[in-house]
Amino acid sequence: MRMQRVVALLLLILASFSLNGEIRAIVFDNGGVVARYDQHSSFAFVSRSLGIPLEVVESRLPVEFYRKVEYGQIDEKLFWEQFADQYEGMLPSEWLSVWTRFNLSNISRNHEVLDLVRELKEAGYQIGMFSNVSPWSSSIYYQSGLYDDFSPAVLSCEIGVKKPNQRAYEILLEQLDLPADEVIFIDDKWVNIQVARKLGIDAIQFRDVDQLREELCRRGITSALSFSFR
């Protein structure tokens, strides 16, 4: 069965050469694809350390944090001071340093995807990152070395606009310096996939690494075929 699957994929690859332009860049989303972040643990940490009820943190933090911080419109320290004050909590001294250490330990890398990233780089593809992320979170990822394999890393907090806004994708293509039909984009959220395809970028909705490898093989990316021989 495994060999039959390999043969079928090879036939798809051969067919794809006559249908697709040359792919030069493969771009990955971060959260949910390259890495995972335990949001519930972070909510619990904020609740305990600031003395704010967990239900308040869970309901208000995502809305207020992402609206104010992910666009890079407010300083991280000022945000947390305002958040603690608004909900009658208290921001301990050096709390941001403790929060940073907590979050470095709260990143779960998808090593199978990172292995694929390195295989694709070795095969000569430009590998980019395209992520909605706050300045503080991006600093955590930079410190952890997660962005090291990606160039460019197009981050919402640095460009001032988020997926699925069309302008974010235009900036991605500008930084890649490539036309849309030479790029593959991988994201776990369907809304982000839809906008990419509307702009002519071939996009794959991520479920797991084997599915991703197979989807890449279907597009003629032969360096993604290795999973079939495991």
What pLDDT score does 225 carry?
Answer: 67
Identity of the amino acid at 196:
A
Residue 227 pLDDT more than 50? no
> Phi and psi at residue 134, in whole multiples of 5°?
-80, 160
pTM of the model: 0.76
Tell me the per-residue pLDDT of 178-204, one tens digit each, with 9 for 90 and over. Answer: 999 999 999 999 999 999 999 999 999
Of the listed ranges 60-64, 214-218, 222-226, the least confidently predicted one is 222-226
In the structure, what pLDDT confidence band is assigned to residue 171 with cuts at 50, 70 and 90?
very high
Going by their DSSP bridges, the two strands 35-37 and 153-155 should be labelled as unpaired
Name the class of domain 2-36+109-229.
alpha beta
Tell me the per-residue pLDDT of 49-108, one tens digit each, with 9 for 90 and over. Answer: 999 999 999 998 877 776 677 666 777 788 889 999 999 999 988 888 888 889 888 889
